[in-house]
Structure 1
């Protein structure tokens, strides 16, 4: 599933509101996750200059400015900004510092520029249809898209200048492509000098128009989206290079296949070249290309191949603004590591040689690269740095989940982190990792509810692979009693449910259910994230097979516990987890009494090209794999009670998945329950989320009896 979409449902964070020794209600647990019970955090932290000045938001409406080795103060309230620019900002939305005296904010289509020294500001308003707003590095210009075209304007005075003027709606410019896979999160890439901008353009002419029903119209109508299913025609990508002064665009296309992907775009520091990855549609081959600013091909710098898949997710990083030498992230040796290349593509050194997963590159400047990685414990997210000679240093000694922002010149690091025992802590560190200033220590605002802690452990498979687990007990747990179980599952790539973070990454509704007399259990099976190639790629061409075997290892463990009612085991998951829920009920019907599957994949041939073909190849290439992993072919094996839930406007896992499987159940005269969420997409959000979780958990409680 899409990384950002799958994680949206999988990871329910805990929030903060406190009542005196009272029970947590389900409504509080669901709707209060963020607004009430989330531990106090520092939001919007940014370094302002290379002298240690920083800023962040306090309660979203107060702007705080301080210094790493000095004091801090509130310098501006949102009402003062609104008064200056005649604005209606509700908070300091998308704030970015232009220099140490001025910043820019934008909320929807309104942009405001404010000078904190003279306390004056001004605003411009983009067209109401403007989307995908992106500023250049110097905050002179802003680019935006309207429908399928790309525009830009000065931020001092609005004047919409078209970059493209396309009539054919099948050709889209300036937006994300490849359905946001392979690290693609944006569609525009400004050059360092702001004189040029590169942008994605996709031709979806040959992609199937998939209908979604719009019931808000009278009468109802169909909205068509472009949805390339596995093995079908896909989009064709280009990279445009627009020169502002010349009002001219040069286009670059994939060299090795019309439907290949263009990813990981970056400009070199001298503003003269673009480096990007071309990924074969098969996703088994990647070419890293270098092009001149006028679209002239320079050379292919290097290639990588894999029998499973290659998945470049990060652009080239340039540790020095004075050189086009770069650092590339690759998992070619089994784990993501940093490789230093010359500007001509010659491998100079392997900067890191870690046997653990690199998660993100935080900064690359002044000859150093700062990055987060699991370290030896795959449940952690730790901060490291490495210099050009490969000298690596761990900067965060405290185990947990760290998020970092590195200051200019690499002098300081803002570090905000949590762990199973720490709700949240925010500090400023020196470049060597020493804490020099404490900004925040959050309290556990759920303490008065007396929730039980989540127990993290691990199981070992027959072939000696460690699988991490999380188990939540009722707060009044009695080992002499027998408890029913809910297994919460995701199980797919790019997600990790069990982490060393506050409440072990569990959702607050899980604690509510535990306090109704349940054991809530989660296991991260092989194929899930942050364990390296051997652990993650083993699922290739057979999604759901090994994953279910690992999950059944968890079931076996549960059945060995004296306090488990082995006749009352339920399972629930969403998206890939919905697929796993039904898959496990069909593979082991004797083990599961009830299941709730949300937004489930039911046959991988119905899923989209970019994700589906990476893990399964095409249906034409892997006929046996698609047949064996299809839930449609095993519908007759269902025995327990099953509730399927689907958003009627889901553009990720389209409704065809659920309807096709329900038809199979009808053919086999098997009764199941189905609940559609009208006009909701892949996740049910807003106030309706409470309705969703009430439906899910009531179904489990009511049906999980024998």
Structure 2
């Protein structure tokens, strides 16, 4: 009897653990936040280098705080701001310090305009007096402290304003701003999206000059989108959007003198006709502004120094490339007026040091690997901190190196994705580490040696919770295709049996310089792939030619022919995988979003003997429909390269469709317009091709909000089951 009880207990325990480890992921789990990771939000290193601040939310009281922590102990020293004590402010979503940290700009009632741009109401909080001051009654853009902390510049209704924080007076400094005609100091749509910035104005070090870019959009064609909303009649969103080959905004550079209240236009000593100004930044000399000018083809980038006091300009550096030159934020000015610059001119992205005249002092980093992030320069130790792929293109590590290129030190040790946030004095860094099997871990490290000091935060609770689920390993490898070893990951069902055959579902993005095969923690799609693996699918991803972090030649081979070599690699990778005994070559599908949707459409049409089905979400269907900066960077203009545009655009190959096709788009997509899908639909109809499609009203390029994401992934999952799911694992 005693033996029987013990045996029963063992059976119950075994049954419990077996059951627990076999929990299955649901789509509801993925989109309800079940697998959300802990993060450190709005991290800021304090000026003293010994403390940092973060934004915290108390989920019980719903109060927002800015809390200051000690680097050494990781203990909270004090709370700087608590929304429950702010009176007129119920909450705030972001914060920015003045240079001396005596004032904090608090963002409230923030609403999105496009991907990066926002409107909001902003308050200045004085940390000494505890007083709160509203910057403007209206919702404004990009408020920015002057370095002395006495003034605040911002954009409103396409004009620039300066508020004196001592007197409370506001001075309007431009007057010609008008929607869809003139923008002052804030980027237009295409600059925001493709050059990655919104604030197109900069204070100088003495707080007495503001440089800004002016955009004349008069000749730029307009694009309109119906907004269906909830009212009886729809409205329209009309904005300027230069498509490939069409007129861009005419840009000009200006400098406003705060003391004289006068603005002067900058004229450089070179004749530019159709050009961009993708970056402006004041040097350490308060009279000298740096400005980067780029031709429309984006294969010539010039760095200019503009002396506002002497009204002179000097061409300091010329970066040239057969394909295109990348624009970055890595320009750093040193105390001796020399500067640090990154370039791909030796075939890989590396760090260079130039004197103030533009003469090369030395190439600081070298090798067949890429610098992927530039963190900054420690003037005291003459040391540069950066991130790179030296330990493999799917990994990221943090390094330091002397300005002379010596004493390179690897500061991170774990294989995977490492990203650093350095203290202001470069004595510490907070490292964010993850890999495919380790959820994000935040640690405090010594910046000199990389030595681990303390664990700050991890996601062990999430990792423990995931042990109850039936998870599969993400297997990294390379696949030999078209003379290249391409990075790949694969997820197989947890109960994978090599004697059986499984359908293969491939994911890719494939855009120039992108990376989808990365040794980092799960995003939401990864949980979806685990969900599909639970259902009996093998999921794989291959980064083909044109993707990033393997050198300029590998990345830029697709120049003028987007969609050719990338497609060859996806088709041939699918053929090679389909030759495996455990993969059913008659049931291979592919999907992608945006550029990935362009690719998955092409794969199904041109690779109709390989792919049985495809899903394209928010796809570009012809590069003639997409914006000028992105498209022309890789394709030049349609007028110059018509065959490159047309031969590789899926809209021109709908007649080849044999398999099952699902097309998805949001009508409020200001980036890849729903026009792409509508024109594809019409082409498919006229070619008498059957297909499925789904439209999400008023949803942008991300297709989210409310129940939208869950609905989208249910739609895609059902389509996969219907087209690939028969005879799984047989």
Query: CA offset at residue 696 of structure 1?
Result: 1.6
Determine if the alignment matches structure 1 residue 644 to structure 2 residue 638.
no
Structure 1 residues 157 and 499: CA distance shift in structure 2, 3 A: farther
CA contact (8 A) 1:251 1:295 kept: no
Larger radius of gyration: 2
Structure 2 unpaired stretches of 5+: 1-19, 59-63, 111-119
Cα deviation per residue 1:93-133 (whole Å; 9 max; x = unaligned)? 225375466644322344445566x6834232423331233
Question: Hey, what's the Cα distance between the residues in 2 that align with 1:294 and 1:27?
Answer: 61
Q: TM-score when scaled to structure 1?
A: 0.91
Other-structure match for 1:440: 457
Structure 1 residues 192 and 625: CA distance shift in structure 2, 3 A: same
Other-structure match for 1:179: 191
CA contact (8 A) 2:665 2:696 kept: yes
Other-structure match for 1:68: 71
Structure 1 residues 503 and 480: CA distance shift in structure 2, 3 A: farther
Q: CA RMSD in A?
A: 2.4
Determine if the alignment matches structure 1 residue 673 to structure 2 residue 676.
no
SS in 1 for 2:647: helix
Determine if the alignment matches structure 1 residue 337 to structure 2 residue 350.
yes
Query: CA offset at residue 332 of structure 1?
Result: 0.9
Determine if the alignment matches structure 1 residue 133 to structure 2 residue 139.
no
Other-structure match for 2:252: 238
Structure 1 residues 415 and 167: CA distance shift in structure 2, 3 A: closer
Question: Hey, what's the Cα distance between the residues in 2 that align with 1:576 and 1:138?
Answer: 44
Query: CA offset at residue 279 of structure 1?
Result: 0.7
Other-structure match for 2:51: 53
Determine if the alignment matches structure 1 residue 572 to structure 2 residue 596.
no
CA contact (8 A) 2:508 2:592 kept: yes
For residues 81-120 of structure 1, the aligned pairs below 5 Å read 81-83=83-85, 85-90=86-91, 93-96=94-97, 99=100, 103-107=104-108, 108=110, 109-114=120-125, 120=130
Cα deviation per residue 1:656-692 (whole Å; 9 max; x = unaligned)? 2222222221111111222211111212022211111
CA contact (8 A) 2:135 2:163 kept: no
Structure 1 residues 422 and 97: CA distance shift in structure 2, 3 A: farther
Determine if the alignment matches structure 1 residue 533 to structure 2 residue 538.
no
Structure 1 unpaired stretches of 5+: 1-18
Query: CA offset at residue 430 of structure 1?
Result: 1.6
Structure 1 residues 565 and 287: CA distance shift in structure 2, 3 A: same
Question: Hey, what's the Cα distance between the residues in 2 that align with 1:71 and 1:588?
Answer: 55
CA contact (8 A) 1:597 1:644 kept: yes
Choose which of 340, 350, 370 in structure 1 pairs with 2:363: 350
SS in 2 for 1:424: strand
SS in 1 for 2:557: helix
* Most deviating of 602-611 and 166-175: 166-175
CA contact (8 A) 1:457 1:470 kept: yes
Determine if the alignment matches structure 1 residue 399 to structure 2 residue 415.
yes
CA contact (8 A) 2:222 2:241 kept: yes
For residues 609-624 of structure 1, the aligned pairs below 5 Å read 609-624=628-643
Question: Hey, what's the Cα distance between the residues in 2 that align with 1:359 and 1:338?
Answer: 10
Choose which of 457, 462, 480 in structure 2 pairs with 1:460: 480
Cα deviation per residue 1:263-317 (whole Å; 9 max; x = unaligned)? 2221111212111211100112121111113593321112122221122222521
For residues 297-308 of structure 1, the aligned pairs below 5 Å read 297-308=312-323
Question: Hey, what's the Cα distance between the residues in 2 that align with 1:253 and 1:601?
Answer: 38
Structure 1 residues 71 and 499: CA distance shift in structure 2, 3 A: closer
* Most deviating of 267-276 and 579-588: 267-276
Structure 1 residues 212 and 240: CA distance shift in structure 2, 3 A: same
Other-structure match for 2:386: 371
Question: Hey, what's the Cα distance between the residues in 2 that align with 1:417 and 1:360?
Answer: 15
Question: Hey, what's the Cα distance between the residues in 2 that align with 1:539 and 1:242?
Answer: 42
Question: Hey, what's the Cα distance between the residues in 2 that align with 1:68 and 1:167?
Answer: 46
Higher relative contact order (CA 8 A, sep 6+): 1
Choose which of 192, 203, 224 in structure 1 pairs with 2:216: 203
Question: Hey, what's the Cα distance between the residues in 1 that align with 2:166 and 2:40?
Answer: 30
Other-structure match for 1:160: 170
Structure 1 residues 365 and 198: CA distance shift in structure 2, 3 A: farther
Query: CA offset at residue 597 of structure 1?
Result: 0.6
Determine if the alignment matches structure 1 residue 543 to structure 2 residue 554.
no
Cα deviation per residue 1:324-377 (whole Å; 9 max; x = unaligned)? 211111111111111111112111111222321112211224133212122230
CA contact (8 A) 1:384 1:395 kept: yes
Cα deviation per residue 1:561-595 (whole Å; 9 max; x = unaligned)? 22222222121111100100110011111222221
Question: Hey, what's the Cα distance between the residues in 2 that align with 1:102 and 1:212?
Answer: 41
Question: Hey, what's the Cα distance between the residues in 1 that align with 2:357 and 2:515?
Answer: 37
Work out the number of aligned pairs and report it: 679
Question: Hey, what's the Cα distance between the residues in 1 that align with 2:398 and 2:53?
Answer: 21
CA contact (8 A) 2:191 2:278 kept: no
Other-structure match for 1:26: 27
CA contact (8 A) 2:354 2:361 kept: yes
Structure 1 residues 206 and 684: CA distance shift in structure 2, 3 A: same
* Most deviating of 494-503 and 603-612: 494-503
Query: CA offset at residue 192 of structure 1?
Result: 2.2
Structure 1 residues 570 and 461: CA distance shift in structure 2, 3 A: closer
CA contact (8 A) 2:152 2:165 kept: yes
Choose which of 711, 719, 725 in structure 2 pairs with 1:691: 711
Structure 1 residues 394 and 557: CA distance shift in structure 2, 3 A: same
Q: TM-score when scaled to structure 2?
A: 0.88
Moved over 6 A (4+): none
Query: CA offset at residue 379 of structure 1?
Result: 0.9
* Most deviating of 237-246 and 602-611: 237-246
CA contact (8 A) 1:457 1:469 kept: yes
Cα deviation per residue 1:42-90 (whole Å; 9 max; x = unaligned)? 2222221334122224446354433222351263386x4432x313343
SS in 2 for 1:389: coil
Query: CA offset at residue 155 of structure 1?
Result: 4.6
CA contact (8 A) 1:65 1:73 kept: yes
Structure 1 residues 379 and 138: CA distance shift in structure 2, 3 A: farther
Query: CA offset at residue 516 of structure 1?
Result: 1.7
Question: Hey, what's the Cα distance between the residues in 2 that align with 1:39 and 1:288?
Answer: 41
Other-structure match for 1:451: 471
CA contact (8 A) 2:68 2:80 kept: no
Question: Hey, what's the Cα distance between the residues in 2 that align with 1:119 and 1:397?
Answer: 45
* Most deviating of 466-475 and 68-77: 68-77
Structure 1 residues 312 and 63: CA distance shift in structure 2, 3 A: closer
Structure 1 residues 56 and 221: CA distance shift in structure 2, 3 A: closer
CA contact (8 A) 1:43 1:58 kept: yes
